[in-house]
Amino acid sequence: MEAYRKVIVYYFSGTGNSRNVASWVKQVAHEMDLESQLFNIAQIDRHSIEPPDPESLLVFVSPVHGFNYPPIMLHFIMRFPNGKNKVVLMNTRAGMLIGKFITPGLTGIAFFLSASILFLKGFSLKAILPVDMPSNWISIHPGLNDCTVKYLHEKNKQRVTVFAQKILSGKYYFRALLEIYDILLAPIALGYYFIGRFFFAKSFYASRNCNNCGICVNACPVKAIIKVDERPFWTFNCESCMKCMGSCPEKAIETGHGFIIAYSLVFSLIILAAFYKYFGLYFFPIENEWVKMVLESALFLILLTLWYRIIHWLMRFKIVERIIVLTSFTNYKWWGKRYRALKPDSDFEVNRRSMK
């Protein structure tokens, strides 16, 4: 077995799940008298990354978005300098609870793709671990109650602690590779990367409860929220990490289920039908299904941009704002509360040193 003297943890986190996992790993390193560093990749220079100590164990921790690491972590790994270090990959995925049974989330291609990239850069994989932390994607499903969140935190902390003790002592851990079915999610993961994430980026809006405090703009880890017409406006840079929803003190940020459903219907039944009738058939008949899919997806996103901008402008009128709010599931208590991860027991200082 190969023990380590230093551990470097790189993490990305929206509502705090991956931050907690990274902190738990650092806590174990501290208890084992190992030197350790913790880097929030949203707060460092991701274009000019300093090569790590070649003797260090590297740990990458990130949530799973669309059955893959989110672009911010994926691109960070792509830009990471070549090396020979041992690497540990961890993710946080949508954990749920049935009785006392924690239902596992799905990792998708997050481990397969990242491990392949790092292998080509000269690194060797030491261990992988998916962590079923509480799901925070309340745009898609109702939020979890406090008891469930607390239980999942406690159980996952125990699991991560045991895992970290083994790995930092020099052991390998690849049990998660048994979830080979994850590779079947590759088409969905690719679809999310090229299309889906942009669609979800245009599903957020701020209701009239917004007081323009600017917390969501400043808190966004990828700087995806700007001010347009003196109100928050979500750009395509959005990772759907849900930090804005969890951070808003007025609970003004909602998911626009109503206007997204309306747009999808208008696009499918009217715009797409008109497109093929007046352009697709007369000027350039489309035979290839792949070309057709790419063309439709591009058209969908281009017009979604326009639709979102129009809705954003119309929300200055009370009747429009009320319709949008009342057709948003996140506006209702039965859908559940906003999610923010519990704070880790030990509050280690996050190293925010810029990497030049």
116 and 249: one domain? no
Q: What global pTM score does this model have? A: 0.90
Domain closes at, from 159, 188, 217? 188
Checking if the pLDDT of 119 tops 60, the result is yes
Tell whether 61 is covered by a domain.
Answer: yes
Phi and psi of 214, rounded to 5°?
A: 85, 5
CATH number of the domain at 271, please: 3.30.70.20
Q: What pLDDT digit, counting tens, does each position of 219-274 carry?
A: 999 999 999 999 999 999 999 999 999 999 999 999 999 999 999 999 998 888 88
* Domain housing 63: 6-188
Q: What is the pLDDT of residues 295-334, one digit of tens each?
A: 889 999 999 999 999 999 999 999 999 999 999 999 999 9
Is the pLDDT at 353 greater than 50, yes or no?
Answer: no
Nearest Cα neighbor of 245 from 13, 15, 70 is 15
Residue 354's pLDDT is 35
Tell whether 260 and 309 lie within a shared domain: yes
Contact present, 36 and 30 (Cβ < 8 Å) = yes
33 and 64 in a single domain? The answer is yes
Instruction: Concatenate the DSSP letters of all residues of 193-231 into one string.
Output: IIIIHHHHHTTEEE-TT-----HHHHH-TT--EEEETTE
pLDDT at 325: 96
Q: State both tokens at 240.
A: 């759907």
Question: Where are any strands of DSSP class E within the chain?
Answer: 6-11, 35-40, 57-63, 86-92, 96-98, 101-103, 124-131, 204-206, 225-228, 231-234, 253-255
Instruction: State whether 286 and 330 are in the same domain.
Output: yes
Q: How many domains does the chain have?
A: 2
Q: Are residue 133 and residue 249 in the same domain, yes or no? A: no
Per-residue confidence (pLDDT) for residue 284, from 0 to 100? 56
Residue 159 banded pLDDT, cuts 50, 70, 90: very high
Structure confidence by residue, pLDDT tens digits, 55-95: 999 999 999 999 999 999 999 999 999 999 999 999 999 98
Q: How large a percentage of the chain has pLDDT more than 90? A: 78
Is residue 74 domain-shared with residue 148, that is, in the same domain? yes
